[in-house]
Amino acid sequence: MNKVTVQSPSNIAFIKYWGYIDDELYIPHNNNISMTLSNCLTITTVERIKDGEDSIEVKFENSHFVPLDRNTIKGKKAYEQIDRIRNLAGSNDKVKIKSSNNFPADAGIASSASGFSALTAALVLAFDLKDTFADKKELSKLVRLSGSASAARSVYDGFVELNAGKNHEDSYAVQIVKKDHWDLVDLVVIVSQNKKTTSTSEGHQRTNENPYFQTRLTEMQNRINFVREAIQNKDLEKLGKYNEQDTISMHAVTMTSEPPIFYWDPETLTVMKEIMRLREKNNVLAYFTIDAGPNVHVICEKKDAITIQNKLEQMKEVQRIIYNEAGEGLKIINNHLF
């Protein structure tokens, strides 16, 4: 295929990874579990060309296409992924790439997950590595090598676990259950569109020296099993309890790293407290989770989502809400970006 376009989703982690055992192969310290999102998407077109140089242009919500700077962390990783897949295919061809996101980037909505999974899958197809595309386990390993392990989970629809493993061969994503298994909703509550000042990549590198990180790794082992069981049994109280614990534990590690990282803004905490208040005072089943950014993901069941959304939209801290159900994994689409 000379020109191919892939659409790939972001995902929200219920058990988060933070830190790598191997920061060249991007092997996380712990298994991590997520739901694939239906409405936070990246579309990427890759065209193989005989002449010229590799080029990548990116476009984030409501802006224009701009060249991806090779000197940024994301730029370096993206261009390395081109070389990796070109070498795998034994090709000398160059590529022209355009990539477009329908949600804010670098704000804790896992734009790396959708971006790097879309990029990898489109490159794999453009370089005719059809067997790799068809084998989701192999594809997830290759996506992981892009430098965003969370992106490996976006290969599948529904609810997904990244088996951390110890080496490249046993570090891959698997599906826990398909998207239709559970009418779960993630209301992404936007309280800030500012880009984070410390990247996720830098944050991962600050974990190994942190004494609290070992405690997190020890106490999370049971939690991983509880969250997987909660998904299988559609038990929101159990999922929410352990997901919130995991969120606070991960952010305790970021806040105690050297130098510390505070991904939360004051508005983040206000929304978290409102969710706890709704649960305690109004018996509303809703839980918060937060990735590496200030925005809050509110997890609830579809039957309660509109009521919760209406309540949250009344808060002055809330700019807008992106509604997501459990979504499809990455897929080929026909609408090329150029």
Does position 200 bind ligand PMV by CB under 6 A? yes
CB of 330 to ligand PMV, least distance (A): 15
Q: How far is CA 180 from the centre of its chain?
A: 20
Q: Per-residue x/- mask for ligand PMV, residues 24 to 63, rule CB under 6 A?
A: --------x-------------------------------
User: Residue 269 is inside which H or E element, if any?
Assistant: helix 266-282
Tell me: does residue 291 bind ligand PMV (CB under 6 A): yes
Site membership for ligand PMV, residue 13 (CB under 6 A): yes
Range 127-156, binding ligand PMV (CB under 6 A): 148-150
Ranges within 60-89 binding ligand PMV (CB under 6 A): none
Report d(CA 154, CA 119) in Å as an integer: 12
Number of residues in contact with ligand PMV, rule: CB under 6 A? 12
Q: Compute how many other C-beta atoms are within 10 angstroms of the C-beta atom of residue 147.
A: 24
Tokens describing residue 308? 């919760």
Contact pick of 112, 117, 207, 243 for ligand PMV (by CB under 6 A): 112
CA 265 to chain centre: 20
| CB closer to ligand PMV, 7 vs 114 | 114
* Alpha carbons 144 and 120: distance in angstroms, whole number: 9
Q: How many CA atoms lie within 13 A of 23 on its CB side?
A: 12
User: Distance of alpha carbon 103 from its chain centroid, rounded?
Assistant: 12
Tell which one of 8, 9, 14, 17 touches ligand PMV (CB under 6 A). 17
Residues near ligand PMV, by CB under 6 A: 13, 16-17, 32, 110, 112, 148-150, 200, 291-292
